[in-house]
Amino acid sequence: MQDLGNYPHIRQSAIRSLFEIFEQSSEGTIIVDRDAHIVWMNERYAQRFGLHGASEAIGRPCESVIPGSLLRDVVKSGRPILLDMMDTPREPLVVMRLPIRGDAGEVIGAIGFALFDELQSLSPLLARYQAMQQELASTRSQLKSRQAKYSFAHFIGTSARSLEVKRLARRSATSDSAVLLLGETGTGKELLAHAIHNASPRASKPFVSLNTAAIPETLLEAEFFGTAPGAFTGADRKGRAGKLQIAHGGTLFLDEIGDMPLPLQSKLLRVLQEKEFEPVGSNEVLRSDVRLIAATSIDLEAAVRKGTFRADLYYRLNVLTLAVPPLRERLEDLPALCEAIFDALQGRHELHPEAMALLGRHAWPGNVRELHNVLERACLLSDDSVLDYKAVATAIGTLHPLPETQDVAAQTGEVEDFHQARANFERELIRKALATTAGDVPQAAQRLGLGRSTLYRKMLELGLSS
């Protein structure tokens, strides 16, 4: 008959031997009590975490020595964590954590082993983990580069026109409908597109912009839809994601959409209607979940009449339309804009009152972008911190007088050219129509036989407001 009295002794010897094997072969060993305070730690592990000796760790909470330690969770739950990855300042470790139970079965502590160096069989797992970490870091970096840069606070201005634009833009942010931004170059259409995205429920998703006028027509479709592997000569063998795919779940901003080729317009219309698309050279249909914001500085209604822009696409885009006013229609914003530009230039410049008055007499055909360039040029060319009339006049170059100044010139008998005469005629005609309709733009547009967006554009060009 077997002697059962030796079984507890053998069990205790096995436990002791197992502990000694793990302790000797592991990269580190640590034991904590029921409060997750360290009661023992081997010297190798102590040195790995910057301690001069293991005695420095005794009595301290495990997290204060090993950031990210889960031994406290093991003590609380009583459940082991057999294999896990733990980041350390030097390299990741494969760790095992086990609860320690008393005679009555209660959890009285936990023990952890770091098994990195000796388990060569885990090297594929470690390599895969490190590759995943690198891929995650790369994805985070790409996502960060696809985040919107501006908010409504960056659209400087407290004039009535500026406040109205920001009010409508904020309202559009709550919807998923397409937004069409109309306005001259340099008025801040792209800035507003960023701000709308940042204020929308899609703010945490990508913001992707595409300037349709800046990309050759032959490459625009591939840039927009992406390509399948080897779709054409010179194409990426692995295929390439297009802007639609990159912007999935977020916002796609199409700048200068009025310059988009007609064939691509029809494909964009399908994306908006069917919420799906096919990469170039592929038969795979991909779902599209993007919020579209488009911008243009041309008259889309006129382009529709000429046949250079699809009417059905125009109506699909013309849901929420924002007319961004030119700088000459919100000159009261000039002081705030100048201050913001000086802050961005990180200089200590300011404007002499005569220089500010000169800025108020310029029509700013390049709008806020031109203002930024003028002030930057003046700062670079001037040795004084206060920019005077001469410095600003030199930076502006050719002064474009405001439309009101042109009217005065015409009344004093000065000869005006054909373009000035036509502008003056259109301005007066629109003024009368607006006066007749008490400032109601849609009614005025109907009286004049113009589309609403066309009238808005004309008003922007001629320096009129409703």
**Which is more confidently placed, 313 or 114?**
313
Q: Which residue has the higher pLDDT, 148 or 101?
A: 101
Q: How far does the chain reach from its first CA to its final CA, in angstroms? A: 108
Block residue for tokens 């690198």: 134
| Chain center to CA of 409 | 47
Q: What is the per-residue pLDDT across 2-43, written as a single tens digit (0 to 9) for each?
A: 555 566 677 677 767 777 777 776 778 899 999 999 999 988
345-396 under CATH 1.10.8.60, yes or no: yes
Angle at 110 between CA 108 and CA 113, to 5 degrees: 160
Q: Tell how far CA 451 is from the center of its chain.
A: 34
CATH assignment of 418-462, among 3.40.50, 3.30.700, 1.10.10, 1.10.287: 1.10.10
pLDDT for residue 49 = 87
For 66, phi and psi rounded to 5 degrees? -115, 95
Task: Look at residue 322 in the predicted model and tell me its pLDDT.
Answer: 93
Structure-model confidence comparison of residues 232 and 318, the more confident one? 318
Instruction: Indicate whether 233 pLDDT > 70.
Output: no
pLDDT at residue 406 in the model: 46
Calculate the average pLDDT of the chain: 84
Residue ranges of domains in the chain: 7-115, 152-323, 345-396, 418-462
CATH superfamily name and code, 152-323: P-loop containing nucleotide triphosphate hydrolases (3.40.50.300)
- As given in the structure block, the two tokens for residue 240 are 């390439």
Task: Give the model confidence (pLDDT) of 389-410 as tens digits.
Answer: 999 999 998 888 876 544 434 4
Q: Which residues pair with 294 in a beta bridge?
A: 180, 254
On the question of pLDDT at 417 being above 70, the answer is no
pLDDT tens for residues 172-222? 999 999 999 999 999 999 999 999 999 999 998 999 999 988 888 888 888
Classify the phi-psi angles of 241: left when phi > 0, otherwise alpha if psi is within -120 to 50, otherwise beta.
beta
Can you identify the CATH homologous superfamily of domain 7-115? PAS domain (3.30.450.20)
Q: C-alpha distances in angstroms, 415 versus 29, 114, 363, 422, 435?
A: 94, 90, 20, 13, 28
Q: How far is CA 303 from CA 299, 307, 309, 378, 447, in A?
A: 6, 6, 5, 39, 21
- Report helix, strand and coil shares of the chain as percent, to nearest 5: 50, 15, 35
